[in-house]
Amino acid sequence: MARTPRKQAESEIYHVVCRGVGRQDIFEDDADRTYFLSALRDELASRDGETLAWCLMNNHVHLLLRMPLNELSATMRSVGSDYALYFNRRHDRTGHLFQGRFRSEPVETDAYLLTVVRYIHRNPVAGGLSRTCDYRWSSYRAYLGLSEPVGLTSCETVLSLLGGVDVFEQLHGEAGTGERCIDVDDDRRPLRDEEATLLARSLLGGMHPREVVLLPRPRRDEALRKLLSCRISVRQIERITGVSRGIVSRVRARAAGTER
């Protein structure tokens, strides 16, 4: 199935979301976060791109970037590949780190630009990581003139629209307007078998899911529990592993404590 082409923004401003495969964490500590931001900063500098806002959550990233669409795609491929290689080496891990390709949406109006900026900065509050927008791993502090972990944020566009820092702070204290932005949980369509296989290999440390049926029962059931913890259905697990639906269902029931 062909991928849907990305929508091009006349403004060249895009809200970008990257998430971990199977909703797994993509940052273990501050060293990981700093590496990701540094890689993004260096890549943007080489392509004349700008970061208008950003936020690092545990298992996903929000970015508001200004650059041509072709440069955006190249930037995210490069940063994603660089960071995944670093992360896997540092944490003795194998397999894919990010869930498919990154998501993006054009930001065409000043009003929606401000909506996205507020949405990104309020993400840690909504996600329970912070009680206020003053969260270390976002661009919010840069807008207040405070230090940020890596010099990354271009604040002029947003502050010029608002007229200064005071209005910026007021914007982030207001209730939402009801407009929706793309987020990590928006894509709820079922996985295709090839996507499920890719996700399974990552969850299983590089093992092809077809090998699960050959494992001793304790290891087989452990592997099945890992697959059941994500967006892979029982029928799909049966198709990609060759393990019968009845066995998969029993493993799920035992994991949930509902087996009779």
Q: Within this chain, do residues 88 and 43 fall inside the same structural domain, yes or no?
A: yes
Residue 1: which pLDDT band, with cuts at 50, 70 and 90?
very low
Residue 53 falls inside a structural domain? yes
Q: How far apart are CA 58 and CA 99, in angstroms?
A: 14
Q: What tens digit of pLDDT does each residue of 23-79 get? A: 889 999 999 999 999 999 999 999 999 999 999 999 999 999 999 999 999 999 999
Residue 61 falls inside a structural domain? yes
Residue 34 falls inside a structural domain? yes
Q: Within this chain, do residues 22 and 91 fall inside the same structural domain, yes or no?
A: yes
Q: Within this chain, do residues 36 and 151 fall inside the same structural domain, yes or no?
A: yes
Q: Within this chain, do residues 144 and 248 fall inside the same structural domain, yes or no?
A: no
Burial of 123-156, coded b for 16+ CB within 10 Å and e otherwise, reads bbeeeebbeebbbbbbbbbbbeeeebbbebbbbe
Q: Within this chain, do residues 120 and 237 fall inside the same structural domain, yes or no?
A: no
Residue 127 falls inside a structural domain? yes
Q: Does 177 have pLDDT greater than 70?
A: no
Task: Say what percent of the chain tops pLDDT 90.
Answer: 56
Residue 205: which pLDDT band, with cuts at 50, 70 and 90?
confident
Residue 5: which pLDDT band, with cuts at 50, 70 and 90?
confident
State the chain's mean pLDDT as an integer: 86
Q: How far apart are CA 31 and CA 53, in angstroms?
A: 20
Q: In the chain, how many domains are there?
A: 2
Q: Within this chain, do residues 19 and 67 fall inside the same structural domain, yes or no?
A: yes
Looking at 114-118, 153-157, 176-180, which range is the least confident one? 176-180
Q: Does 89 have pLDDT greater than 90?
A: yes
Alpha-helical runs (H) found in 127-233: 140-143, 156-162, 165-173, 193-203, 217-228
Residue 252 falls inside a structural domain? yes
Q: How far apart are CA 245 and CA 237, in angstroms?
A: 8
103: three-class secondary structure by DSSP: strand
Q: Within this chain, do residues 124 and 20 fall inside the same structural domain, yes or no?
A: yes
Residue 167: which pLDDT band, with cuts at 50, 70 and 90?
confident
Residue 179 falls inside a structural domain? no
Q: pTM of the prediction?
A: 0.70
Q: How far apart are CA 97 and CA 82, in angstroms?
A: 11
Q: Within this chain, do residues 146 and 60 fall inside the same structural domain, yes or no?
A: yes
pLDDT at 18: 94
CATH number of the domain where residue 131 is located: 3.30.70.1290
Q: What is the average pLDDT across 90-99?
A: 90
Q: Within this chain, do residues 198 and 158 fall inside the same structural domain, yes or no?
A: no
Q: Are the beta carbons of 56 and 40 closer than 8 angstroms?
A: no
Q: What is the average pLDDT across 93-111?
A: 87
Q: Within this chain, do residues 166 and 205 fall inside the same structural domain, yes or no?
A: no
Q: Within this chain, do residues 168 and 236 fall inside the same structural domain, yes or no?
A: no
pLDDT at 72: 94
Q: Are the beta carbons of 125 and 132 closer than 8 angstroms?
A: yes
Q: Are the beta carbons of 250 and 205 closer than 8 angstroms?
A: no
Q: What is the average pLDDT across 216-231?
A: 87
Residue 187 falls inside a structural domain? no
Q: Report CA-CA distances (Å) from 251 to 26, 35, 169, 220.
A: 28, 39, 50, 10
Q: How far apart are CA 17 and CA 62, in angstroms?
A: 5
Q: How far apart are CA 105 and CA 120, in angstroms?
A: 14
* Domain hosting residue 206, numbered range: 193-256
Q: Within this chain, do residues 25 and 86 fall inside the same structural domain, yes or no?
A: yes
pLDDT at 101: 83
The DSSP symbol for 150 reads S
Q: What tens digit of pLDDT does each residue of 7-27 get? A: 888 899 999 999 998 888 999
Residue 178 falls inside a structural domain? no
